[in-house]
Chains A and B, each alone.
Chain A
Amino acid sequence: MLVVRRRVGETIVIGDSIEVTIIEISPTRVKLGVMAPREVSVTRQETLAVAADNRRAAGFLGSGKVDGVLRMLGRAEA
């Protein structure tokens, strides 16, 4: 992994067309600005995991398992 030290307002360039600028630094977070071509997807890593979960969630009704889950939930209320 390449490690680069940067200050607020400074930028790194990836390839010919992607720029990542340090916008703000707090004790626990860094705010980044990313400029990239429209065809380049820029996504937080955890959002990718949630997108995969959402696709699985959308398949739940087709899985035939809703009744089983309802039975389990019913046990909690019993």
Chain B
Amino acid sequence: MTSTFCDERRVIRSPWLGDVEWDPKCELFFPHGLPGFEDERRMIPVEIPAQRPLVYLQSLEQPQVCFVCMPVLVIDPVFRLSLSDEERATLAIAGSAAPVPGRDVLCLGLLVPSGDTVEVNLAAPIVISLMNSCCLQTVAGSASCFRLAPDGRWVAQC
């Protein structure tokens, strides 16, 4: 299993993904961690080709911490990202124009288990800067929840 975008090798032993080889150049840095996981500052993105579009965010601090994510545009093709000035500075996004997912940043939604399915709050995406590999989880004022339906469609909940 390999981390995305990698070359030079290190290995982390994940209880979920097995031994994952990763390159320091692929490391993602969360200066403030994530809400509820403020000490998780170093992660790597892991893709398993057969499981696309899932993306795993594997902590390098604690191997047992691993999140399952999905690109937000897969869930909501008209997703618009809004960032504060402080968040833009953290991500090294210049200018005042809205950052474009896929060009300036990558945005991932965290899959939260809910019964037999999952929900994603698109008001709290993980934002990965393509400029400096810094990341944060931005939190908008009101939730924007999507739920995965049995037929595989994402249905807006709130």
Contact = CB atoms under 8 A, between A and B. Distances in A.
Interface of A: 44, 46-63, 65-66, 68-70, 72-78
A47 B141 CA distance: 9
Contacts of B18: none
Interface of B: 16, 34-37, 51, 53-54, 65-68, 110-113, 116-118, 121, 123-124, 137, 139-143, 148-153
B118 A50 contact: no
A75 B150 CA distance: 8
Most chain B beta-carbon contacts within 10 A, residue among A54, A57, A73, A78: A57
Majority SS of interface residues in chain B?
loop
Contacts of B53: 73
A62 B34 CA distance: 19
Given A50-B35, A69-B111, 18 more contacts: A49-B143, A53-B121, A53-B124, A54-B36, A54-B67, A54-B137, A56-B113, A57-B112, A57-B113, A58-B67, A60-B67, A65-B116, A66-B68, A68-B116, A73-B148, A73-B152, A75-B150, A78-B152
B140 A53 contact: no
A53 B114 CA distance: 10
A54 B52 CA distance: 21
A39 B65 CA distance: 26
A53 B65 CA distance: 14
Nearest to B152: A76
Contacts of B140: 46
Contacts of B141: 46
